[in-house]
Amino acid sequence: MKLLKDLTPLSSAKKIVYNYLSNYLKEINSVKSVNILNALNKISAKEIKAPIDLPYFNKASMDGYAVKAENTFGASETNPIILDIVDRDEIYENEAKKIFTGEKLPKNANAVVMEEFCNVVNGFLEVYRSVHPNENVSKIGEDVKHGDVILKKGEIITPYHLNMLASLGIKEVEVYTLSFGIITTGDELVDLDSVDINKDFDHLISKGKIINSNSYMLYGLVKNLGFTAKIYNIVEDKKQSLKRAIKLALKENDVLLITGGSSVSDRDITVETVEEMGKILVHGVNIRPGKPFGFGVVENKPVFMLSGYPVASAVQFELFVSRYFKKRKKITLPLKRNIASELGRVDFVRVKVDREVEPIRITGSGVVSSLTRCDGYVLIPENVEGYEKGDLVDVYLI
């Protein structure tokens, strides 16, 4: 049993894992160029700068008439200014051209008079209000300037990025591609597909068996990083079986997640097995929930050893995998209630937010409903004994 003082501090553990991942990603060339439609929700592997200005010509931002602003000075309801209406790609002194929102301004025009402030009378345009230069004009580079960063490395590619990329004529982007193998161990586990909850419920209770659920969660978490995930059959708590499963999954994937069997207790066969097959870089971290986290390397591939407890494994995945690839939005709000913590460990507190931050009341790390109900989390550092009602705290939104 590892005591608190033997645990690796979260910051050191993250550094070890992140460093390994950074080198690994370079080494295996996990970057692929894909069509922008296929890049949706994937992680950008390269910073992209705008190759051109956007818009790349001055355009009308309103329906109306393109004019030289100077020609409208002094116009009013009672003293309209009269302009010639023309239909060419350039205008001259005292001329106007009908224009629709989004259309390119004719040469020499520098403003648009909105439709409702003019009127066509006997083939001439009466203008009832003056416009200043650039009024109702989307100017070159107003949205994006040539060279502006439009997509950062590590950013999740949103539908709005797709718009931006297409507007700039960019058809492909580089994204991270990784395949994750998901192994679950535990003699107490039964497979979801083999269970009929109506028929088997009493049997599960009498045998103390639970249904494997972590594989499904991890599958979803991996998918939501834009990666592929493969779930392997449940492995019994025997080293030989686990070794076989690890070998197979390593052959088929870039990264391994093993859940269950990694508590810092004497039943800890996952860590021992990984140690025999490769090396352990982290085992036991001062985070709660999530203490029995392990990270190792087998055949040069990263192996994450996650807790069998759903909330603990979700926390471990968040801090050691998701957060490596994906920034979380951080907001700061006052606490609605005190939260206690213990010196020497980092507490991962699930919270709801509205105008305050409300810690979700929970009694155990097995409480999955705390995850489906939370909006984000607060990390209480190891040197803080807790926060008081009203304190401003940082919330990472999930």
232-271 as b/e: b if 16+ CB within 10 A: bebbebeeebbbebbeebbeebbbbbbbbbbbbeeebbbb
| Distance (Å) of CA 390 to CA 297, 331, 335, 337 | 44, 15, 5, 8
Q: Which of 84, 126, 143, 358 binds a copy of itself (CB under 8 A)?
A: 143
Q: Which is nearer to a copy of itself, 277 or 319 (CB)?
A: 319
CB 156 → a copy of itself: shortest distance, Å?
A: 11
CB 199 → a copy of itself: shortest distance, Å?
A: 10
Provide the mask over 103-122, with x wherever binding to a copy of itself is found by CB under 8 A and - wherever it is not: xx----------xx------
| Site for a copy of itself, residues 22 to 81, rule: CB under 8 A | 36-37, 40-41, 51-52, 54-57, 59, 61, 63
Q: Please choose, out of 9-17, 155-163, 294-302, 335-343, the segment that lies near a copy of itself by the rule CB under 8 A.
A: 155-163
Q: Which of 67, 301, 365, 379 binds a copy of itself (CB under 8 A)?
A: 365
The DSSP letter of residue 188 is T
With binding defined as CB under 8 A, does residue 12 bind a copy of itself? no
91 C-beta neighbours (distance < 10 Å), count: 25
Identify the helix (H) or strand (E) that includes residue 130.
Answer: none
With binding defined as CB under 8 A, does residue 85 bind a copy of itself? no
Helices (H), 337-386: 369-373
**Tokens 């000075």 belong to residue:** 73
Q: Which of 11, 18, 102, 121 binds a copy of itself (CB under 8 A)?
A: 102
How many residues in the shown chain lie near a copy of itself by CB under 8 A? 96
CB 23 → a copy of itself: shortest distance, Å?
A: 28
Q: Which of 219, 275, 336, 384 binds a copy of itself (CB under 8 A)?
A: 219
Token reading at 159 = 């539908």
| Site for a copy of itself, residues 316 to 345, rule: CB under 8 A | 329-333
From CA 120, how far away is CA 116, in angstroms rounded?
Answer: 11
Token reading at 231 = 């779930």
Q: Which is nearer to a copy of itself, 225 or 298 (CB)?
A: 225
| Site for a copy of itself, residues 254 to 293, rule: CB under 8 A | 263, 265, 267
Residue 302's Cβ-count burial label (10 Å; 0-12, 13-18, 19+) is buried
Token reading at 17 = 């894992």
Q: Please choose, out of 14-22, 120-128, 162-170, 240-248, the segment that lies near a copy of itself by the rule CB under 8 A.
A: 162-170
